[in-house]
Amino acid sequence: MAINNTSTKFFTSGEIKFSEIRDSFGDLAGTDVRASDYFRNATDNIDWSDDSTISPRVPDATENADVSTSTNWQMSALRGSIAEYNITQSGNDEELEFSPTNVPTWNNNLSRNVPKRMDIEGVVYANETSKYALKFSEGEYNNLTINVPDGGAIYGEGGTAGGNGGGALYVENTATYDDVSVTLGSNGQIYAGGGGGTSGNFGNAGPNLPCSELRYFNVNVNTGGRSFPGDGTGFASCEQTAFPQGFTVYDVVARNPGSLRSRCRGKGGARSSETWDSNNQSGYDCSPNWNYTCPGFRRFSISGNAGAGGAGGAGQGFSNQSGPGAGGAGEEGNSQNCPSDRGGGQSVGGTGNPGNPGGAWGESVPGGGSGGFALLKKGTVITAGQSGNTVKGAVSNI
């Protein structure tokens, strides 16, 4: 990457002659050469392309600051003076931004009336959609031309899936007396990024498949005494317990005391050493705590989930110059199985649709991302070279 100042400085050494001053800054046709013709002209609203009428002849520039505007004019003040300020960009440069007070590149000349020209001979690009490749931020720009010759390019970045494309050139000129001029060669390029494509649709859900489930639940009951609760089977206790949604308890398959006394009172009132027989589910009640095993049953349906649609393709842009990105593949749907002892079968969700491609340079995608601005401007005009081949994307006013 390189940005070089290609301005010519006059009278850097040796004798200064009036004929050389005239040759450097031009003369007024039909008049004698006079020192007053070569004062510094600090007028804002001035067009140096009208060479035959403008006087005085020396433009306002930082390099010309020692040249008097009215009195005490001296030849020696013209040493190192310039008639125009030019810079040339070559190679690749990322996201260049200038303002009227940008000293290193423009030497504070952007708001002065010296003719200025920026030639984009390489590539200026943005790799972020939130930024412009080349930006002249808010301020007064005087006698400025931005030129993109054959082989030069200003590229915005393409939008990601569903996102907007990025801009190429931004110029916000607040000077009311002059417009910034943009010119292009027949193959120069000012290309905004294309919008990102939309995502694909979800696939179809799998068919509903009937299924059932049997589970066993443990229920602990404290009777507060030494007798079976309820009807003695424990079924009432199971029915009163909150089970997971959809389960219905239909039986009690085991009854076990939580603790036993060493001696129990029989049904007739006599004491007995017989204890509870957990295998045969018989004996005497010698415990206030009981644990019941209750089977629960439910019926339900299952359905395989649909696969998500593929991501939309990226828009064409600096990082994707060969063309818009194709949409991504859709995801496969998942499967839900009902075991053979519960009804059997499998439901499989459909694969999602592929994503839609992104937009070409500067193009919007219906339902997706918008194309970026080739030129978003204020006080700026494209004066030469605009065509469908050289400018891609919207040209709009701020």
pLDDT score at 230: 47
Place of tokens 């459909």: 350
State residue 269's pLDDT score.
41
Peptide linkage before 288 cis (omega within 30 of 0): no
| pLDDT < 50: residue spans in the chain | 226-230, 265-276, 281, 283-284
Q: What is the pLDDT of residue 213?
A: 85
C-alpha torsion sign, points 122, 128, 129, 133: negative
**Ordered DSSP codes for 114-181:** S-EEEEE-SEEE-SSTTS-SEEEEEE---SEEEEE-TT-EEEPPPP-TTPPPPPSEEEEE--SS--EE
CB 81 within 8 A of CB 10: yes
Q: Which of 187, 172, 88, 122 is nearest to 387 (CA)?
A: 187
From CA 168, how far away is CA 193, in angstroms rounded?
8
Which among 226, 140, 214, 146 has a CA at the least distance from the CA of 177? 140
- Three-class SS string for 323-371? CCCCCCCCCCCCEEECCHHHCCCEEECCCCCCCCCCCCCCCCCCCCCCC
pLDDT at residue number 272: 41
Please answer whether residues 3 and 38 qualify as being in contact, where contact means their C-beta atoms are separated by less than 8 angstroms: no
Q: Which one, of 321, 320, 307, lies nearest residue 349 by Cα? A: 307
Q: 């200064």: which residue's tokens?
A: 16
By CB atoms closer than 10 A (0-12, 13-18, 19+), residue 72 is: exposed
Q: Is residue 300 left, alpha or beta, with left meaning phi > 0 and alpha meaning psi from -120 to 50?
A: beta
Q: Residue 122 to residues 241, 247, 302: CA-CA distances in angstroms?
A: 79, 73, 61
Residue 109 falls in which region: left (phi positive, over 0), alpha (psi -120 to 50) or beta: alpha
In 3-state terms, what secondary structure has residue 78?
helix
In tens, the pLDDT along 80-132 reads 999 999 999 999 999 999 999 888 899 999 999 999 999 999 999 999 999 99
Q: How far apart are CA 62 and CA 152, in angstroms?
A: 28
